[in-house]
Amino acid sequence: MCQQFVQVRLGKMDVPEEIAARSVPKRAGEWLVDGKVKGPEGPLLFACLLKQGARWELLNFSLWAPQEINSA
């Protein structure tokens, strides 16, 4: 489900370069899925929060470009 949202945002079908899923502590049935995908101008990070029940429900989704931290 998370990969489908990434593909809709990017407008193309690509397999994520990295992806990880883990259950959310103290929140039964909730899963955090995050990873990295190649975007049009470089790598993009994504994360989504899913709830597992009779069907999967998307609670939150984010897609962003990582930014380098400038040293002072």
pLDDT in tens, 9-62: 888 887 889 999 999 999 989 999 999 998 888 889 999 999 998 999 999 999
pTM of the model: 0.79
User: How far apart, in Å, do the first and last CA atoms of the chain sit?
Assistant: 40
Q: Are 34 and 20 in contact (CB under 8 A)?
A: yes
Q: What is residue 2's three-state secondary structure? A: helix
Contact indicator for 33, 61 with CB cutoff of 8 Å: no
* H or E element that contains 3: helix 2-10
- 5, containing H or E segment: helix 2-10
